[in-house]
Structure 1
């Protein structure tokens, strides 16, 4: 049976999300600070995107507005990664990745405040589910983990930063369509600029890899997670419906939760599993809204 481009895209998107989730293991075990490893990731990724842009002859956008929004997107992405890393260290890869996936609701808020898009009843219901889910996840964590409150808070902030980064990408494309490699080159530039000072000030004692294993893992994090996995996702999303995309994107937090439970031996009780299920359902329901909006404007 011949696979269609859509089936290839669905497989690629799922695999890309799982690879992204595996990146949290590198963050967990490498003895590099949260800001520093984020800086290394975007620096290595930026070099790769620079080489790819030159190899394929893709030019930077000519619009100064598009360039500004690409760089601003990188600023938000840099802090999204650093805050996500902080959350990983505090509450584990699974919960932190789940909280980061809440960016879809921050995107809804941005759309409401800045683009005058109204929320549907389904979207409001999904937000209520997400709040209940987070409470169920957070309550046991706050009781048994002294860093739980900080991890949950910074994980949510990372989702907000990711939403702002995506909103800036949208503004950049409205100014001028930008090819993927130059886009990610400018995003990487903005992220590097945003992370240099915090990395030096906060992670000065944990900035450099101390052995070849850490150096290899950091290089892998930049190449595989920032370039390969992102490339799969960026390739797949335009070929799939938003409904299916929203469903398949849930493979990232699901993979991270399973990694937490089976490989890192993190105790996750029934209440937290219930909260995880509710939050994943909420994220999926939230992903249905943009498709209806597109139908109305078609």
Structure 2
């Protein structure tokens, strides 16, 4: 599993925010030019669209969780490294503090990749993407603990609704899709969502600079290390699964990782968290559509009800007061 360009600027200039809103400001300054000068809303929409198809490509590859997570990072680095080096020559080195954020965020991203891939195998690509939205509940808590940015009352009201929706969508409550493993799916999906929330939080804190590819490259390198270690210890890692699986993972890496994260970095650095959360709604909606149309997945009625609850809870939490 991002949302009105002016909210963060309003918060920084001291004007009142909506009662349901909260903000965790990025520390780096804003710049113009390149992707950093584009509309953050459009960048976030593009990133969400790319990420929504990622689970479908992982499922089509047919490889285990550790292999999928490690190879997606390795394949992404083939593209990212030369572009990041060119960016470094053009813009100079990225600040050391920001690079530390990139590496720690990437370590969490690697954990997310492994658990999310396993969740895809257990409950399907569409439901696994919905489960990833548990990060919507975790992200504000991280901001509260580390930046003292308090979630609004609406967040606390809708949190139980979100959790019930996640349980229904996974099949842990109600009727799961035949052949799925709802209990393990929700556990792995929740773990992935928590790790992804940490990645988003650290990316926001270290973002906002002129570099757009370099931070993604560092995060992907760290993600490759952590996913490789976790995958080797848990599911095993097959470095040569065949041309078919490699092809699907290459497509997923290009769109769901390289392009998505390059677009997401500058967007998160300039969007208020509530706005980012609203745009994240595109991911589960599109993922469910893709899973049903292209993979033949058939979530049950209660799972669809859970998906609706998750989307409604995130939308209600994210929208501005009138």
Normalising TM by the smaller chain, what interval? Answer: 0.7 to 0.9
Deviation at 1:101, TM superposition (A): 1.7
Q: 1:241 to 1:165 in 2, by over 3 A?
A: closer
Deviation at 1:74, TM superposition (A): 0.6
Q: 1:286 to 1:192 in 2, by over 3 A?
A: same
Deviation string for 1:112-163 (max 9, x for gaps)? 2233333321111221220221233231355855621000111011010011
Residue 166 in structure 1 maps to residue 191 in structure 2? no
Of the three residues 46, 52, 62, the one matched with 1:21 is 52
Q: How many residues align?
A: 282
Runs of 5+ consecutive residues of structure 2 not aligned to the other structure:
1-34
Of the three residues 79, 92, 110, the one matched with 1:48 is 79
Deviation at 1:230, TM superposition (A): 2.7
Query: In structure 1, the residue corresponding to 2:213 is in which secondary structure?
Result: helix
- For 1:233 and 1:71, how far apart are their aligned partners in 2? 16
Runs of 5+ consecutive residues of structure 1 not aligned to the other structure:
293-298
**Structure showing the higher helix proportion among its residues:** 1
CA RMSD of aligned residues (A): 2.9
2:23 alignment partner in structure 1: none
Deviation at 1:253, TM superposition (A): 0.6
Deviation at 1:9, TM superposition (A): 6.1
User: Are 1:78 and 1:192, in contact at CA under 8 Å, matched by a contact in 2?
Assistant: yes
2:181 alignment partner in structure 1: 147
Query: In structure 1, the residue corresponding to 2:195 is in which secondary structure?
Result: helix
User: TM-score by structure 1 length?
Assistant: 0.82
1:296 alignment partner in structure 2: none
1:93 alignment partner in structure 2: 125
Of the three residues 90, 102, 106, the one matched with 1:74 is 106
User: Are 1:59 and 1:182, in contact at CA under 8 Å, matched by a contact in 2?
Assistant: no
2:216 alignment partner in structure 1: 184
- For 2:39 and 2:115, how far apart are their aligned partners in 1? 32
- For 1:14 and 1:170, how far apart are their aligned partners in 2? 17
Deviation string for 1:29-86 (max 9, x for gaps)? 21322122211112222332221122232444342x4332221111100011111111
2:295 alignment partner in structure 1: 264
1:34 alignment partner in structure 2: 65
Query: In structure 2, the residue corresponding to 1:180 is in which secondary structure?
Result: coil
- For 1:69 and 1:235, how far apart are their aligned partners in 2? 15
User: TM-score by structure 2 length?
Assistant: 0.77
